[in-house]
Amino acid sequence: MEDRIYTVSQFNKMVKDYLEDNNNLKNFFLKGEISGVNYYKSGHLYFSLKDKNCQVRCTAFGYRYKKIPEDLKEGDSVKIFGDATLYEARGDFQIMVRHLEKENKMGALYEELEKVKKELSEKGYFDRDKKRPMPSLPQTIGVITSGTGAAVRDIINTARLRYPNINIYVYPAKVQGLGAAKEVIRGIEALNKIEEIDLIIAGRGGGSIEDLWTFNEKDVALAYFNSKKPIVSAVGHEIDVLLTDFTADLRSSTPTHASEMVVPEKKKLQESIENREKYLKSYLRKYIHKKKDEISNRRNSFVIKNFQRLVQEKNMEVLDKEREFIKSYERYILKKRQEMEMKVEKLKALNPDNILKRGYSITSSNGKVIKNAHDIEPGEILETIFHIGKSTSVVKEIDVDEKGII
């Protein structure tokens, strides 16, 4: 075999060309854990990507234009897309990164969060009819947030600027990391025990979703829901909606916004009161003027001026009606009396006693009046009533002529 002798430059160039011509080493994805992150002002990014056993150098030129995150840190799990190459000057094998994205370490947490959201939603924890209105003019508010962060200053400064007389209770709590959830819950419980507090603002400033995750904890969300006092979820974020945003009575985009939503501006309140006072005075003046005009019109009206004469006329009309009624009633009584007398005369004419006076009699058998000779039999006992007295007889013979007359 013929000896092949290369210079270092020749060798590195040959290896570089070989790597860049190998399709298996182009346009591939690689995932691992970041180490040794260095962002340079020139716009380049250098780091190593490693797993349990090995590591490889990576370079991203102009990382800002490639939309590569600017908050990469030691230990982050990432997935990169790029090509294998060799930096000839130092003989460094490296990956030229064209795209980088963080591995979804939060995936499992998001999956669990969705389950909790569904559970709480089905139980009615997100329902609008369970949201309590904020007091229109709170005198005292409670704040739960980090005691040293910008959020607490923003809330206090905004509230005092809008309403200088407002009282503020601050419960300093850890708002991210281990133990943060328990501190926020304790803060809600503590401020609920202070009677004069009208409402509570609980939250923090902005940050990554990992920093904000305390407010996605189920126990924290339930503490918001179970608060006896109206509560505002005030976490500095816009894109993500946290679990406490659903269970709180009110959601604000930032702690400053929370103060603006629940604390009225004193100046505007004073202006509103002054405007209402002006309106009421104007309304009363118009109302009084209107009533005066009505009274004046009534005094000058025809009815008022001629009231006594109208009353006399009505009295005369009543009297005439009364006289007409009496005359009509008398005629009615006379007519009814005449009708009654005619009925009495008819009754007298039909009175059996009057018939008997004229010589007629009434014969009966066993209480039944005999009208026809055919109705009796020989031997039957008859009773005959006269005008004066009565007699009893026995039928011996019955004789009826052809015309029915004995």
Domains and CATH numbers, the chain: 8-102 (2.40.50.140), 119-264 (3.40.50.10550), 355-394 (no CATH)
Helix (H/G/I), strand (E/B), else coil: 5: coil
pLDDT score recorded for residue 368: 85
Token representation of residue 393: 């007889």
**Residues 266, 163 contacting (CB under 8 angstroms):** yes
pTM, to two decimals: 0.50
Start-to-end CA span in the chain (Å): 184
Mean pLDDT value across residues 41-55: 90
Mean pLDDT value across residues 53-81: 88
pLDDT score recorded for residue 239: 61
Task: Provide the β-strand partners of residue 126.
Answer: none
More confident residue, 114 or 303: 114
Pairing type for strands 92-102 and 140-145 reads unpaired
Cβ count near 322 (within 10 Å): 9
Residue type, 204: R
Give residue-wise pLDDT tens across range 190-224. 999 999 999 999 999 888 777 888 999 999 999 99
Three-state SS annotation for 123-169: CCCCCHHHCCCCCCCCCEEEEEECCCCHHHHHHHHHHHHHCCCCEEE
Give residue-wise pLDDT tens across range 86-123. 999 999 999 999 999 887 656 667 778 889 999 999 99
Helix (H/G/I), strand (E/B), else coil: 131: coil
Give residue-wise pLDDT tens across range 346-388. 777 667 777 776 777 788 888 788 778 777 888 888 888 887 8
Angle at the Cα of 345 (from 340 to 351), degrees rounded to 5?
Answer: 125
Euclidean distance between CA atoms 263 and 269, whole angstroms = 11
- Name the burial class of residue 33, with classes exposed (0-12), middle (13-18) and buried (19+) by CB atoms within 10 angstroms of its CB: middle
Q: Please say if the pLDDT value at position 2 is more than 70.
A: no
The percent of residues above 90 in pLDDT, for the chain, comes to 44
pLDDT score recorded for residue 305: 64
CA distances from residue 166 to 99, 107, 263 in whole angstroms, order as listed: 52, 43, 8
Pairing type for strands 381-385 and 199-204 reads unpaired
Residue type, 369: V
**Residues 106, 77 contacting (CB under 8 angstroms):** no
Length of the chain: 406
CA distances from residue 324 to 160, 300, 315, 317 in whole angstroms, order as listed: 87, 36, 14, 11
**Nearest Cα to Cα of residue 168 among 264, 249, 263, 235:** 263
**Residues 248, 231 contacting (CB under 8 angstroms):** yes
Average pLDDT of the chain, as a whole number: 86
**Residues 220, 173 contacting (CB under 8 angstroms):** no
Euclidean distance between CA atoms 169 and 145, whole angstroms = 11
Q: Please say if the pLDDT value at position 48 is more than 90.
A: yes
**Residues 389, 362 contacting (CB under 8 angstroms):** no
Give residue-wise pLDDT tens across range 139-184. 999 999 998 889 999 999 999 999 999 999 999 999 998 899 999 9
Euclidean distance between CA atoms 200 and 224, whole angstroms = 10
Q: Residue 149 gets which letter from DSSP?
A: S
33-42, 146-155, 200-209, 299-308: which has the minimum mean pLDDT? 299-308
**Residues 171, 185 contacting (CB under 8 angstroms):** no
Radius of gyration of the chain (CA): 58
CA distances from residue 394 to 380, 381, 384 in whole angstroms, order as listed: 6, 5, 11
pLDDT score recorded for residue 64: 85
Give residue-wise pLDDT tens across range 317-348. 888 888 888 888 788 888 888 888 888 777 77
25-39, 123-137, 154-168, 231-245: which has the minimum mean pLDDT? 231-245
12-21, 176-185, 304-313, 319-328: which has the minimum mean pLDDT? 304-313
- Name the burial class of residue 153, with classes exposed (0-12), middle (13-18) and buried (19+) by CB atoms within 10 angstroms of its CB: middle
pLDDT score recorded for residue 182: 95
**Residues 234, 201 contacting (CB under 8 angstroms):** yes
170 sits in which H/E element: strand 167-172
**Residues 66, 115 contacting (CB under 8 angstroms):** no
**Residues 191, 171 contacting (CB under 8 angstroms):** yes
**Residues 174, 146 contacting (CB under 8 angstroms):** yes
Euclidean distance between CA atoms 301 and 288, whole angstroms = 20
